[in-house]
């Protein structure tokens, strides 16, 4: 009898092992497929990296017309130089579709980087979502901003939307719970006074040292990048960045 029980247990553990290996293979294959899809997207990007003394700037343009022929919901591009974040920027009619679809509408756990469907770009707070992947692609590298050296090396986010490339400086990192609506995701606050109060409250909760040293006026344009933390289902890591200039516009 004991021998029979041991055999059943052995079979159970073997099945668990096989299932675990199969899951790992599936995840790895999904990541490889996702990475390949977005490498193809980068063929629509043209780069110019210029350095004038201490000033360094990243200019890039995209063939938006061709990308929109693939998917009319491609709105632009987001990039954090020298990091994995270098992707088309999507916006759908809800915040679910692009969790499981790539920019070319293929079903994938990889998903897309996408604007909150309620956003009008350049609201007082523009919210962008992306998955926290295990291989560091999509928004999987945002957690690195808990390291001050990483933040020092990668302080800027560039967003090309329409015919304008804008530059944002990262000013805050927050961990939030989405079981109830969190203020980090509030969009248009309606007045400079409300925006000022909101931004002061967000900066007070930031987990990185104070970066915004100039006066808060309420006119700031904030870019909020959101991803899950893989710890609690409703927990999110949020990076906030302030627009500091226009790189180029047509």
Q: What is the pLDDT of residues 4-34, one digit of tens each?
A: 555 766 666 666 666 555 555 555 566 667 6
- 113 three-class SS: strand
Residue 12 lies in a domain: no
Residue 37 lies in a domain: no
Buried b (16+ CB within 10 A) or exposed e, 74-106: bbbbbbbbebbbbbbbbbbeeeebbbebbbbee
- Looking at residue 189, its pLDDT comes to 86
pLDDT, one tens digit per residue, over 58-112 is 788 999 999 999 999 999 999 999 999 999 999 999 999 999 999 999 999 889 9
pLDDT, one tens digit per residue, over 26-35 is 555 666 676 8
Taking the C-alpha atoms of 134, 131, 199 and 124 in order, what is their torsion angle to the nearest 10 degrees? Answer: 150
Average pLDDT over residues 40-69: 83
Residue percentage of the chain with pLDDT more than 90: 68
Asked if 92 and 128 count as a contact pair (C-beta separation under 8 A), the reply is no
- Per-position DSSP letters for 175-222, written without gaps between them: EEETTS--GGG----SSHHHHHHHHHHHHHT-SS-----SPP-S---E
Q: Which of 141, 159, 163 lies closest to 150 in space, CA to CA?
A: 141
DSSP letter, residue 233: T
Residue 119 lies in a domain: yes
Looking at residue 151, which CATH number applies to its domain?
A: 2.40.260.10
Q: Is 235 left (phi over 0), alpha (psi -120 to 50) or beta?
A: beta
Residue 130 lies in a domain: yes
Supply the pTM of this predicted model: 0.87
Residue 101 lies in a domain: yes
The Cα–Cα gap between 152 and 68 comes to 35
Residue 156 lies in a domain: yes
pLDDT, one tens digit per residue, over 105-151 is 999 988 999 999 999 888 899 999 999 998 889 999 999 999 999 99
The Cα–Cα gap between 142 and 229 comes to 10
- Looking at residue 174, its pLDDT comes to 97
The Cα–Cα gap between 117 and 123 comes to 12
- Looking at residue 176, its pLDDT comes to 96
Residue 153 lies in a domain: yes
Average pLDDT over residues 186-193: 90
The Cα–Cα gap between 71 and 14 comes to 44
Q: Is 36 left (phi over 0), alpha (psi -120 to 50) or beta?
A: alpha
Structural domain count of the chain: 1
The parent domain of residue 169 ranges over 74-249
Residue 144 lies in a domain: yes
The dihedral built from the CA positions of residue 67, 68, 70 and 72, taken in this order, carries a sign that is: positive
């Amino acid at each position: 009898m004991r021998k029979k029980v041991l055999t059943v247990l052995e079979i159970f553990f073997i099945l668990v092992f096989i299932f675990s290996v199969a899951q790992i293979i599936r995840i790895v294959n999904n990541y490889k497929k996702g990475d390949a899809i977005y490498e193809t997207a980068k063929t629509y990007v043209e780069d110019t990296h210029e350095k004038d003394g201490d000033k360094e700037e990243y200019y890039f343009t995209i063939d938006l017309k061709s990308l929109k022929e693939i998917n009319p919901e491609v709105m632009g591009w987001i990039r954090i130089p020298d990091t994995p974040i270098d992707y088309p920027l999507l916006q759908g009619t809800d915040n679910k579709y692009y969790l499981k679809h790539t920019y070319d509408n293929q079903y994938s756990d990889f998903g897309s980087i996408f604007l909150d469907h309620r956003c009008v770009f350049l609201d007082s707070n523009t919210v962008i979502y992306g998955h926290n992947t295990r291989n560091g692609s999509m928004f999987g590298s945002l957690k690195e901003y808990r390291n001050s050296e990483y933040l020092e090396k990668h302080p800027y986010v560039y967003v090309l939307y329409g015919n304008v490339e804008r530059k944002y400086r990262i000013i805050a990192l927050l961990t939030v719970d989405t079981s109830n609506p969190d203020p980090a995701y509030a969009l248009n606050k309606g007045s400079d006074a409300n925006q000022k109060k909101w931004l002061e409250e967000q900066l007070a909760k930031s987990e990185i040292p104070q970066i915004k040293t100039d006066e808060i006026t309420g006119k700031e344009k904030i870019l909020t990048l959101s991803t899950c933390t893989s710890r609690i289902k409703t927990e999110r890591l949020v990076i906030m960045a302030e627009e500091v200039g226009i790189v180029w516009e047509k």
